[in-house]
Amino acid sequence: MELIPAIDLLNNIVVKAFLGERKKYKPIDTQLSNSSKLENVITGLLKEYKFKIIYIADLNAIMGNKNNFKIIKKVIKKFPKIDFWVDYGVKNFLDFKKYHDNRFKIIVGSETLKSTDELKKIYKHKKREFILSLDFKNNLFLGPKNLIKNNKLWPKKTIFMILDSVGSKKRPKLIKLFNLDKKKDYYLAGGVSNNKDIKFLQKKGFKGAILSTAIHEKKIVYKNL
């Protein structure tokens, strides 16, 4: 089971995500670092556990208000052994194509994606692997309707992002509705709060969990995984 720490960046600092209410996010208060600076938080995470993948959401870019690219590029260079997954609010093929740095994988979020036609164009760009994030909030799918109905459009790696469960410490009820194709890798983000949740996802056929609060509050017992 892959455990992937999620880091949310807003105005160049790491913030604590809660229920998808991004404008209310405040600097993270974590037991792993005495600072909310990105580099310090990552250093703290890697001291806690040998994570191989780290997910970064550039909230400014996603919301269309500046970006945090400078510090993201800095940490990608500083931690070369980490496989970084970065969501910067891709809306179309041109957004996807303009970043040629192959040292991170691009997350295409349904929330910002304009259409499945743009996703099909991304598929044709064989030079870059991407990860699809299917975004939900208040039991509603955020994105092109034909995308959630057609799992043939989902790539090898797909995230179910339950925004209103983020930081809630409650396993999302929507999980019961997901029918997983065993040939693909699926990840859940939102509401994963302890080892019991992780083992539940494993039994359900998920490849991994993307989590934050449980890690920073030291609720995960890694030796039991």
Asked if 54 and 42 touch (Cβ cutoff 8 Å), the reply is yes
- The predicted-structure confidence for 129-181, as pLDDT tens digits, reads as follows 899 999 999 889 999 999 998 889 999 999 999 988 875 566 666 565 566 77
**Tell me, what's the pLDDT at 129?**
84
CA nearest to 101, candidates 124, 119, 74: 74
142 — phi, psi (to 5°)? Answer: -105, 105
Asked if 91 and 122 touch (Cβ cutoff 8 Å), the reply is no
SS3 50: coil
**Tell me, what's the pLDDT at 28?**
87
Q: pLDDT class for 191, splitting at 50, 70, 90?
A: confident
64 — phi, psi (to 5°)? Answer: 75, 30
As a whole number, mean pLDDT of residues 181-205 equals 90
Q: CB neighbours (10 Å) of residue 50?
A: 10
- The predicted-structure confidence for 1-53, as pLDDT tens digits, reads as follows 999 999 999 999 999 876 556 666 788 889 999 999 999 999 999 999 999 99
The residue written with tokens 């980490």 in the block is 82
Q: How far apart are CA 61 and CA 222, in angstroms?
A: 33
CATH top class, domain 2-224: alpha beta
Q: How far apart are CA 20 and CA 98, in angstroms?
A: 27
Q: How far apart are CA 161 and CA 84, in angstroms?
A: 17
Q: How far apart are CA 140 and CA 111, in angstroms?
A: 11
Asked if 180 and 156 touch (Cβ cutoff 8 Å), the reply is no
